[in-house]
Amino acid sequence: MIGEAIHEGLLRNGFSNVIEPNHSVDLTNRKEVTELFNAMNPKYVFMSGGESGGISANQLFPARLMLDNLLVATNVISTAYEAGVTKLLYLASSCIYPKNCHQPMNEDAILTGSLEPTNEAYAVAKIAGLKLCQAYNQQFGNDGASTKYITCIPANVFGPGDDFDLEESHVIPSLIRKMHEAKILGSDEVEIWGSGTPRREFIFSKDLADACIAIMEDYEDTQPINVGVGSDLSIGDLARLIQKVVEYPGKLTFNTNRPDGIPAKMLDSNKLIDLGWRPNYSLLQALQATYRWYASIGQSINKPYGKVNPSIPYELGR
C-alpha cells in the first residue's frame, strides 16, 4: 500500500526516473536484495517494506513480525550503503513510542519508557531499523558517500490496497470489511475489539506519500521525524464514522474482554509542519475512497500480504 502510494506520488510530482515496485523480490533474502540493487542502481530509496498488522496479528505472530522487519531492515539498509545510495528514507511506526507517552508524542520520547505489550515485538524491530540508520550515519556520514539515512514515523496509515485480512489487518480495514460483510449478509451487529475509548491518529496513504517525498527533498537530520495530520479520534468514533461510510444499519458492540492496546497515539508533527507540508484529504474523504476501492475491487482479491495492487483506478473525492 505505502510503496505503491509513494510510487504514484513521485510520478504525480513530476519525477520520471522512478523504479516501479517489484513485489516478486523477497526483501528478507539478502541475495535477492543485492541483485535488485545491482540491477537498478538506485540513488534514493523509500523503505516501506516489512510486514505489519493490528493487535490480533501482533498477538498471533510476534516472532514472524519481528523477524520479517529485522531482516528487511538489515538487508535493505546495509545493501543501500554498499550500493552507494545517496539518501534513504526508512518508515518506522508510532508503535515505537512508550505505552504511557505524553501526548502528542515528540520524537525525543523514543526509548524513554516501556513499550505497549500488544505490539512490543514489532516495535522493537522498528526501533532497531531506526537505530541502524543512525549507526550508519554516525559511522559513515563523513565518508565520501556522505551517508544520509533518515527515519520518519507515520501515524496509522490506511488507503486503497490495504490488507483487509481479519487476522492481520489494522483497525480501519478490519472495520470496513466487518461492516461491509455484515451489511451484505444482513447481520444485526458488528463486534469491535476493546472499549472503543483508545484514541488514534490516522493518515491517508496518498497524504503519507506526499509527506515522504517532501521529507526526502528537504529533511536531513539524523533524528526521526513524525508524520501525522494533527488530530485524532477514539476508536468508537472511528467505528461510527466507518458505519456511516459503509451505510451499515446494524448495531455496534464493544467487546471489553479484548485488549485496547495503547491508550492514545497522537504524533507531534511540528517538524513536518515547519517543512510546509499539510494533508490534502480529510479523514471522511479518505475513508470514502478506501471503501470505494474495497467494495469494488479489494473484497475480490484474496492474496498474501504485499501482493495486492492498489494502482487499479478508483474514484477519489476531494
C-alpha cell, 274: 515547519
- d(Cα 193, Cα 130) in Å, to the nearest integer? 30
With 0-12 CB in 10 A as exposed, 13-18 as middle and 19+ as buried, what is 69?
Answer: buried
Domain count, the chain: 1
**Residue 142 lies inside a defined structural domain of this protein:** yes
**Residue 93 lies inside a defined structural domain of this protein:** yes
Domain that holds residue 236: 2-300
pLDDT of residue 308: 37
**Residue 306 lies inside a defined structural domain of this protein:** no
**Residue 8 lies inside a defined structural domain of this protein:** yes
Encode pLDDT of 40-52 as tens digits.
999 999 999 888 7
pLDDT band at 303 (very low <50, low <70, confident <90, very high): very low
C-alpha cell, 296: 469494488
Query: Residue 315: is its pLDDT beyond 60?
Result: no
pLDDT band at 118 (very low <50, low <70, confident <90, very high): confident
**Residue 87 lies inside a defined structural domain of this protein:** yes
- d(Cα 62, Cα 120) in Å, to the nearest integer? 8
Give the residue ranges of DSSP H helices in the chain.
2-12, 30-40, 55-60, 62-82, 120-140, 171-185, 205-218, 235-246, 270-274, 283-296
**Residue 317 lies inside a defined structural domain of this protein:** no
Query: Residue 166: is its pLDDT beyond 90?
Result: no
**Residue 309 lies inside a defined structural domain of this protein:** no
122, 95 contact by CB (below 8 A)? yes
Mean pLDDT estimate for the chain: 89
Give 202's strand partners: 156
Average pLDDT for residues 81-96, to the nearest whole number? Answer: 95
Taking alpha carbons only, the member of 5, 6, 74 closest to residue 216 is 6
Q: At what angle do helices 62-82 and 30-40 cross, to 10 degrees?
A: 40
100, 67 contact by CB (below 8 A)? no
pLDDT of residue 231: 96
Encode pLDDT of 230-268 as tens digits.
999 999 999 999 999 999 999 999 999 988 888 889 999
- d(Cα 60, Cα 14) in Å, to the nearest integer? 42
pTM greater than 0.85 (yes/no): yes
Encode pLDDT of 126-161 as tens digits.
999 999 999 999 998 866 556 799 999 999 999 999
pLDDT exceeding 90 applies to what percent of the chain?
78
pLDDT of residue 245: 98
Contacts of 304 (CB under 8 A, 6+ apart): none
**Looking at the annotation, which residues are catalytic?**
122
**Residue 23 lies inside a defined structural domain of this protein:** yes
Domain CATH code at residue 151: 3.40.50.720
**Lowest-confidence region among 38-47, 221-230, 238-247, 292-301:** 292-301
